[in-house]
Chains A and B, each alone.
Chain A
Amino acid sequence: MRLALSRPSDSAERKSLAMKLLEVTIVYAILFFFALLVGIPFLYMFTGSFKTNGQLFSWPVNLLASEPTLNNYERLLSGEEIPYLQQMGNSVIIAVSQSALTLLFASMVGWGFAKYEFRGKTFLTIFLLFTFTIPFQVTLVPLFQMIVRLGLLDSFLGVILPSSVSAFGAFFMRQAMVSIPQELLDAGRIDGASEWGLFWRIGIPLSRGALSILSVLVFLTAWNDYLWPLIVLRTPEKFTYPVGLATLNGLYKVEYGMILGGAFIATLPIVLIFFAGRNQILDNLTIGAVKQ
């Protein structure tokens, strides 16, 4: 807003004040409306997990739980329908191992690209960018055949291994590591550090921020994945939680309260993890894609 040269009349001033108030009201009304749209399904998931089927399917719709019951959680966690606790544990094992492997591969290759000149570097970069455009669906059938041949069907390794090489992760780590000052490495070399030592003692500690963002992103992807675990895993004791929940959802008599309970306790931890790192993650979502 610029200062007006001539003093505006009182009525104009009042009008602009009213306009501003109106504008602010509209802005917050929009934000609040969308907050409700986003929030109500979450609220419904939470309160629904304390309801019986009868209470869920009754009229009028109640967003809260008037007579909350813990029965859904008791039955879900006792494992009478599916071994849900075990399935959540499987999801933890798979998501953690997948994150660790992805981080290791991605940081190593990122370091190689960021800090060294070598023959074939340009070619490999362009090649990687080109293959970036190939959708993963293309690979599903041969990957499945490979998993079967390796005897990894219905095993965690079969889920983890194919997902641990992330071209996105490679670029992400390269972007993060390229800004590490060369002088640090030169100084390290003079002090007699090995190339691995430079990576481990300088490269990794100085890219902790990027590593934590990447680990959360990979963890989230692995935690939420449905298609590939559905293809590889065959027995309920091996299922990840999304595959388990989907089987509950497909039962003849669907117990929604129980399913909502399972959905809620699987969603809560990632929302909390994400809440803890929200600003770092949200500020860096577009690294490598839009920056430059």
Chain B
Amino acid sequence: MFGRGRKIAPYLFISPFFIGYAIFFLYPVIQSLQLSFYRQVGLTNPPRFIGFDNYVRLVTKDDLFIKALTNTTYYALGSILIIVPLALLLALILHSPRLRFREFFRFLYFTPNITAGVVVGIVFGLVFEEQYGLINNLLLAPLGIDNVRWLREARWIMPAVILLGAWKWTGINAIYFMVGLQNIPPELNEAARVDGATRWQVFWHVTLPLLRPILAFVLTIAIIGSYNLFAEPAILVGLEGGPNNSGMTMTMYLYTRGFRELKMGYASAIGYSLAVIILVLSVIQLVLIRAFRED
């Protein structure tokens, strides 16, 4: 089938992928854009063109959409603020020479990341349980803190999901930072030390600036991951997001509108809003990282 023709061979090699990509990715991407301008409820009802109505409704009338957006943003910011410093700390420690059991710790810290979201959600349902849960009994009770109603009180749901996210994602981010640290030539640190810089100064003025590309990568992955969040909160507090929909994320919202209520056009508009938000956030993040380089 590939003969000896070096001219057509590359096209034969790439075509299975690109045919599949066109059918299962590009076509749906375009179809979804079109659908987002239609009202279609159910699979068999004919779609009706309504222009920008879906988008207008999302932004001006749909409190639940705004809620899901707020929750997801809350999760993104909260988890980044916890994960990035912790991951950096762990990476610096794991990177230090003469550390024993390095492989063991690296492996252990990574395991939450390969655990299914559903499994994590189930286990953390017990971790956050009000009366008998691990956090309230093992972490907070010894500090004299009363039981927190993690999954039953609206304001505590997102903090619980953020802690779950930190548990799941800190390890892999530490490994990303370790890769970044390995790429920094050790001579740089040594030179700075010889010049009399303290360790803290070396970290702040040499290591951190050089980690910027990794930081950009980590933040991008974190933002995308936040907006993909689905299984964990869905298991933890249910697909409606628990009390006051406080655990409802964007992807959960898209799922309930699209696949429970079968509002095809509306769910497509949610999907596209999500794409725009992720794009904007990624650009902002890149600009910020670049701005820090200037000072």
A interface list, Cβ under 8 A from B: 2, 27, 30-31, 34-35, 37-42, 44-45, 48, 56-61, 104-106, 108-109, 111-113, 115-118, 121, 124, 128, 131, 133-146, 148, 161-162, 164-165, 167, 170, 194-196, 199, 220, 223-224, 226-227, 230-231, 242-243, 245-246, 249-250, 256, 259-260, 263, 266-267, 270-271, 274-275, 278-279, 282, 285-286, 289-290
| Known contacts A109-B13, A196-B1, A31 near B105 by CB under 8 Å | yes
Residues of B225-257 at the interface with A, using a CB-CB cut-off of 8 Å, are 227-228, 230-231, 234-235, 238, 250-251, 254-255
**Are B119 and A143 in contact, with the CB atoms below 8 A?**
no
Summarize B's interface: helix, strand, loop or mixed: helix
Give the chain A neighbours of B37 by CB distance below 8 A: none
Cα–Cα distance between A242 and B230 once the two chains are bound (Å) = 13
**Are B112 and A165 in contact, with the CB atoms below 8 A?**
no
B interface list, Cβ under 8 A from A: 1-7, 9-14, 16-18, 20-21, 24-29, 31-32, 35, 43, 89-90, 93-94, 96, 99, 101, 103, 105-112, 114-119, 121-127, 129, 131-134, 137-138, 167, 170-172, 175-176, 179-180, 183, 193-194, 213-214, 217, 224, 227-228, 230-231, 234-235, 238, 250-251, 254-255, 258-259, 264, 267-268, 270-272, 274-275, 278-279, 282
**Are B3 and A194 in contact, with the CB atoms below 8 A?**
yes
Give the chain B neighbours of A266 by CB distance below 8 A: 116, 119
Give the chain B neighbours of A274 by CB distance below 8 A: 110-111, 114
Summarize A's interface: helix, strand, loop or mixed: helix
Give the chain B neighbours of A275 by CB distance below 8 A: 107
| Known contacts A131-B25, A137-B271, A195 near B111 by CB under 8 Å | no
Nearest CB in chain B to that of A248: its residue: B122
**Are A137 and B274 in contact, with the CB atoms below 8 A?**
yes
Give the chain A neighbours of B224 by CB distance below 8 A: 135
- State which of B11, B90, B268 has its C-beta within 8 Å of the C-beta of A34: B90
Known: A44-B126, A282-B175. 18 other contacts (CB 8 A): A27-B99, A41-B124, A106-B17, A109-B18, A112-B14, A116-B13, A133-B279, A139-B32, A141-B267, A142-B31, A194-B4, A195-B6, A220-B114, A224-B114, A249-B122, A263-B119, A267-B119, A285-B175
Cα–Cα distance between A266 and B25 once the two chains are bound (Å) = 30
Smallest beta-carbon distance A196→chain B, Å? 4
A-B pairs with CB below 8 Å: how many?
A: 279
**Are B132 and A58 in contact, with the CB atoms below 8 A?**
yes
Smallest beta-carbon distance B271→chain A, Å? 4
| Known contacts A41-B134, A59-B132, A263-B122, A139 near B25 by CB under 8 Å | yes
**Are B24 and A242 in contact, with the CB atoms below 8 A?**
no
**Are A226 and B117 in contact, with the CB atoms below 8 A?**
yes
Give the chain A neighbours of B170 by CB distance below 8 A: 34
Give the chain B neighbours of A42 by CB distance below 8 A: 111, 123
| Known contacts A109-B14, A145-B264, A167-B21, A224 near B117 by CB under 8 Å | yes
Give the chain B neighbours of A164 by CB distance below 8 A: 20, 24
**Are B264 and A194 in contact, with the CB atoms below 8 A?**
no
Cα–Cα distance between A113 and B10 once the two chains are bound (Å) = 7
Q: Which 3 A-B pairs have the closest CB atoms?
A: A112-B13, A116-B10, A109-B17
| Known contacts A112-B10, A138-B274, A196 near B2 by CB under 8 Å | yes
Cα–Cα distance between A136 and B122 once the two chains are bound (Å) = 25
- State which of A145, A220, A223, A259 has its C-beta within 8 Å of the C-beta of B122: A259
Cα–Cα distance between A135 and B94 once the two chains are bound (Å) = 33
**Are B89 and A108 in contact, with the CB atoms below 8 A?**
no
Give the chain A neighbours of B9 by CB distance below 8 A: 112, 116, 195-196
Give the chain A neighbours of B228 by CB distance below 8 A: 135-137
14 interchain pairs, CB-CB under 8 A: A27-B96, A31-B101, A40-B138, A44-B134, A56-B132, A131-B25, A131-B29, A135-B224, A137-B270, A140-B259, A141-B35, A162-B24, A224-B114, A249-B125
**Are B131 and A109 in contact, with the CB atoms below 8 A?**
no
**Are A34 and B43 in contact, with the CB atoms below 8 A?**
no
- State which of A60, A148, A195 has its C-beta within 8 Å of the C-beta of B3: A195
Give the chain B neighbours of A109 by CB distance below 8 A: 13-14, 16-18
**Are A105 and B17 in contact, with the CB atoms below 8 A?**
yes
Smallest beta-carbon distance A149→chain B, Å? 9
Give the chain B neighbours of A2 by CB distance below 8 A: 193-194
**Are B217 and A289 in contact, with the CB atoms below 8 A?**
yes
- State which of B11, B99, B119 has its C-beta within 8 Å of the C-beta of A242: B119
Smallest beta-carbon distance A59→chain B, Å? 6
